[in-house]
Structure 1
């Protein structure tokens, strides 16, 4: 079979979940069957150094998404691309329009990662995206819940949608958490007798760190514990003030973005996700891979699917700090053999998200799409 060219289009290869997903797919693709090409806007992304050296990497001469249509169309035409793969609605729109304007037979595959919509204005906007998505050859949903949402709000036919979970580079995660050591200034957080909770994610409303801080205060009243928050975001100062108001500022550590968060996960006693909603919950799969027990809100659709309704991690009600506090406390006081069993089951669960396995699912989907 002649090797097929797959062009991956994304804003930049930055530190977000979409970039991580594309990176894992590209690096794990079978080079005997596919030639991957990565196209971004003119930005320097923090994940670029992790891209395999044999990948053709093209940066368009623009930083504006709307200005990328014609340059992207030119690349599609010049490279004789078979498939154009994109993710996130705005970028999917540009990729579809560019493919049409390229005048080639390239097929679009668009990925939808988020559980969007819910009010009239948002649902109407999603229907407009749906009109374009119908021009694509295949739509990828990263969970069954996201697929249901695409059918409901985008009005895309179910038979056009495939569910493929996020790829998790388990081998790299385990290598990174074992090879490196914690920075000297952070070692005291994990060195004492206090239990350590950890969370990671952008400090935005959907992640609901406020509920986590209130839950942590209640746990701290029952057991000696610390909270480590990895990530950045618009609510950082507000959350730091809330920690002060709750009287827990000395027990909460805002450590910002960390290049190797898995090292921190591995040293913690539990990972906590407080999100209101998650399309997949990529960070949950990563936490499982580090052998860290989880407490997560039952945010739909992602967390419920990743943890299989609580089989692979404790689940609490969304926005309920009391329920979250109880679940965290119950996890922290488990006997060692009970904890070990949770870790064992969690690590086994990660095999379902292994990057090579997911890359093979994408490869199969690409071939089926080209044969349509």
Structure 2
């Protein structure tokens, strides 16, 4: 089955709470890390919301002890770090570290005895299903990217094919992503997009003629394509600059590309914003240049903040958010010239920017925290009731 926001009622939680009247539900959320990122933001949001209701919530990550989370967490949320951080290892050491991670994850599940485990991202999903085998603990796995464009190698692909049918259910953020999985891997399925939840301490300081892009500095985000597009229009708009927020392995290559294009004084790469969402404060136009996405939460955050946006029509996410010409501009996937033309149109037309921004703010309400939380409540309700039965 598939659950979209078109059929989601408003936030309630009564179903789960009524079914769990004897005691508060115990939920364990598992993901690779708690740094800056879309999945990390979703997990932090869910944990805080459920803890606010009095539920017992634990977040389990392989991170090293003492690693500080990027997003604020309620003091009621328990953090369990396995101290086996995810990083690149050689084949032999990598296999050993994965085995240790699996052992510690299973031991943590047995200690926590959660009513439900919700796991995020493919390799962590596989380990969560394996770790819960024989415990009676249901596991819901959540894919957060475009399965068509991700390759995990033959071993992890086979493990996913074997383990996902044994999970209680599968969550994706778009129907397109869900359709990538064989029927046996999605016997129970829900489509739940990311929520848009802007930090309350954002103070707009705009009118600085700033185009912004946000994301990890990796090929997926297409910042190399964005640099090429901006180079085509930079001379037409000499008072505008481009800021690419984020960190990652492509920093050196992107910096070299920027300099080769003669954009050293026009393009800045300041790293990760000091506070979640702080990049919104100084942005006048937002651009999503990704080659592919699972959803593209920063695009929705920009729309909710009342920014004019332009995005590649990549799979998946932007088309679900943007109605072209009404609340944003969609550009043919990967077309650098079209991206340059759309950006140039926005930069020279103040009334268009204002109109798109106003409609973007209204469109973003479809993905409010209340609506998305209600969808997650339905999933938890179904899993807990099935376990009792």
TM range (shorter): 0.7 to 0.9
- Gap runs ≥5 in structure 1: 182-189
Unaligned residue ranges in structure 2 (runs of 5+) = 1-20, 86-96
Q: How far apart, CA to CA, are the structure 2 residues paired with 1:268 and 1:49?
A: 21
Residue in 2 that maps onto 1:53: 75
C-alpha contact 1:41 1:61 (8 A) present in aligned 2: yes
Partner of residue 265 from structure 1, selected from 250, 260, 280: 280
- Aligned pair in 2 of structure 1 residues 120, 207: CA closer, same or farther (>3 Å)? closer
From the two aligned structures, give the one with the greater helix fraction: 1
* 1:309-348 Cα deviation digits (max 9, x unpaired): 6643111122222100110111122243x43332222112
User: What CA distance in whole angstroms lies between the structure 1 residues aligned with 2:225 and 2:184?
Assistant: 35
Is 1:223 the counterpart of 2:248 in the alignment?
no
Q: Match of 2:232, SS?
A: helix
Q: 1:315 aligns with which of 321, 330, 341?
A: 330
**Cα distance change on mapping 1:122 and 1:146 into 2, 3 Å:** farther
Rounded Cα–Cα distance in structure 2 between residues aligned with 1:261 and 1:249: 26
- Residue 184 (structure 1) aligns with: none
1:37 maps to 2:70: no
Contact 2:308–2:354 (CA<8 Å) still a contact in 1?
Answer: no
Aligned mates of 1:162, 1:246 — CA distance in 2: 44
**Aligned-pair distance for 1:75?**
2.4
**1:35 Cα deviation from its structure 2 partner:** 2.1
> 1:96 deviation in Å?
0.7
**Alignment counterpart, residue 301 of structure 1, candidates 316, 337, 341:** 316
Deviations 1:343-362 (A, max 9, x none): 22211222222234322221
In 2: Cα distance, 1:304 partner to 1:260 partner: 28
Residue 24 of structure 1 pairs with residue 39 of structure 2: no
RMSD: 2.5
Residue 256 to residue 119, structure 1, CA distance change in 2 (3 Å)? closer
| Partner secondary structure for residue 38 of structure 1 | strand
Structure 1 partner of 2:373:
359
Is the CA contact 1:11–1:41 (under 8 Å) kept in the aligned structure 2?
yes
* Structure 2 match to 1:186: none
**Residue of structure 2 aligned with 1:12, choices 24, 28, 33:** 33
Which of 197, 201, 210 in structure 2 is aligned with 1:196? 210
The CA deviation at 1:233 is: 1.8
* Counterpart position of 2:179: 148
State how far apart, in whole Å, the 1-side matches of 2:79 and 2:319 are. 36
Q: How does 1:1-372 map to 2 (within 5 A)?
A: 1-2=21-22, 3-29=24-50, 31-32=52-53, 34-43=55-64, 44-47=66-69, 50-63=72-85, 64-100=97-133, 103-117=134-148, 126=157, 128-151=159-182, 155-156=183-184, 158-170=186-198, 172=199, 175-178=200-203, 195-224=209-238, 225-260=240-275, 262-308=277-323, 311-336=326-351, 338-372=352-386
Task: State the SS of the aligned residue for 2:125.
Answer: helix
Seen in structure 2, the aligned counterparts of structure 1 residues 261 and 30 have a Cα distance that, compared at 3 Å, is: closer
Counterparts of 1:208 and 1:256, CA distance in 2: 16
CA contact (8 A) 1:66 1:94 kept: no
The 8 Å contact of residues 35 and 71 in structure 2, kept in 1 or not, is answered as no
